[in-house]
Chains A and B, each alone.
Chain A
């Protein structure tokens, strides 16, 4: 029944696996984007001279970093429908959970990135009359993000793999679709190997792409 490596089962199920991969990719891209935006805002709060903002930023980060991701996913899955008074679907509740959770980690990365840009750059930007937001937008953040690229990539890869946790709320991502096929056709080795290879190749491609970007925009 399971003798020999059956390539056919992989080929035959590619369209189905692709639907799972779409969920995985969409979730990853939206969560990274949302996490970076949220993380940037949190980092600016943490670095703010207004104590209310820096307190908020600090508490947020400490809170979410002490929670297991899976718990946050559960929370939002059960909590968001109660707050909104209507079901939002697994995808959106998971997306919110990922963005809020990742924002805490991105905040710390971005805070370090901002600190990596020298004080002199701030002086120079202030001296020509730029205001706080212009200094951040045009001078500090563009340099900070260049310095942060390697660690942002690492965080992105972790997030890409963490999206597989969505199985706990019954969302069909790449791993779940592969798992469905594996159990239905009793082709565990084939499917789990495929999943491993696909994750590996995608992360490798991501790394190579980022390395090229990094070279192009090197300071």
Chain B
């Protein structure tokens, strides 16, 4: 589904991604972790072309992301993405946040879009918030709306860029619950997160990144077992110790 081959990226002289290769198969959940500044958010933004990269190839469902001939808006409309800071559109209602791209990109009617939006809001437990504005919701609620907004496009894969990092601790679980449910339904997911509990529960594979390189790319059992390298071990011991 998602194939990342020898991807390198520079910001000016700064080499953010160094020869990264990995893949996410259909129905697979892959967790990407690593210390901050390791390039994991940049890597996931390359997958749907939000960030350009200079070397290597990424293809999603057979379409090359870096190819100038690729219709990126069209490709992105099939890939859901959830951001660390939610990035709901603050000037329109929750219902319109979920409906806008359904109408403008997928060409659904207002009624079809409303019906689908409501279905998804019920699913994330926010059916009664449809007419509110994003600023009237808590962080956890906003992130669940953001997930609904991505799902409204009927994506073939979902990308999560640190979806719980900006949340207060008591709101993290309400978001993770939605993500676990999605994973269990067989959604193809690439998730940048430090939530190792989530990884332990639903991930098939875990990728560990450090200084722009993919240092570990292992099945969940191997990753949490004994076969990982020193750097990943040190990172894990730091985030799991309390």
Interface residues of A (CB under 8 A from B): 118, 120-121, 123-131, 134, 138-139, 142-143, 146, 217, 219
Contact = CB atoms under 8 A, between A and B. Distances in A.
B104 A130 contact: yes
Given A126-B50, A127-B81, A129-B101, 17 more contacts: A123-B45, A124-B81, A124-B88, A125-B89, A127-B48, A127-B76, A127-B80, A127-B150, A128-B150, A129-B76, A129-B105, A130-B73, A131-B73, A134-B104, A143-B89, A143-B90, A217-B91
A127 B97 CA distance: 13
By secondary structure, the A interface counts as helix
A128 B50 contact: no
Interface in B91-123: 91, 100-101, 104-105
B12 to A, nearest CB: 17
B83 A128 contact: no
B9 interface: no
A124 B73 contact: no
A217 B90 CA distance: 11
Given A126-B76, A219-B135, A121 B87 contact: yes
A120 B73 contact: no
A139 B73 CA distance: 15
B129 to A, nearest CB: 18
Interface of B: 45, 48, 50, 72-74, 76-81, 83, 85, 87-91, 100-101, 104-105, 135, 146, 149-150, 153
Contacts of B45: 123
Contacts of B72: 126
A130 B85 CA distance: 19
Contact of A126 (B73, B90, B104): B73
B50 A123 contact: yes
Contact of A123 (B87, B101, B135): B87
B76 A124 contact: no
Contacts of B78: 129
A138 B102 CA distance: 13
A219 B89 CA distance: 10
Contacts of B90: 143, 219
B89 A124 contact: yes
Contacts of A138: 89, 100, 104
A171 B76 CA distance: 55
Contacts of B74: 129
Contacts of B80: 127
13 contacts: A123-B50, A123-B83, A124-B88, A126-B73, A126-B76, A128-B101, A128-B149, A129-B73, A129-B77, A129-B78, A139-B89, A146-B91, A219-B135
A209 B83 CA distance: 37
Most chain B CB within a 10 A radius of its CB, from A123, A129, A131, A143 = A129
A128 B88 CA distance: 11
A125 to B, nearest CB: 8
A142 B133 CA distance: 15
A25 B105 CA distance: 41
Of all A-B residue pairs in the complex, the 5 with the closest CB atoms, nearest first, are A129-B77, A124-B87, A128-B101, A127-B81, A129-B105
B222 to A, nearest CB: 32
Nearest to B133: A219
A127 B87 CA distance: 11
A138 B89 CA distance: 9
A71 B82 CA distance: 53
B73 A142 contact: no
Contacts of A126: 50, 72-73, 76
Contacts of B91: 142-143, 146, 217, 219
A135 to B, nearest CB: 9
A187 to B, nearest CB: 51
Nearest to A129: B77
Nearest to A135: B73
A10 to B, nearest CB: 45
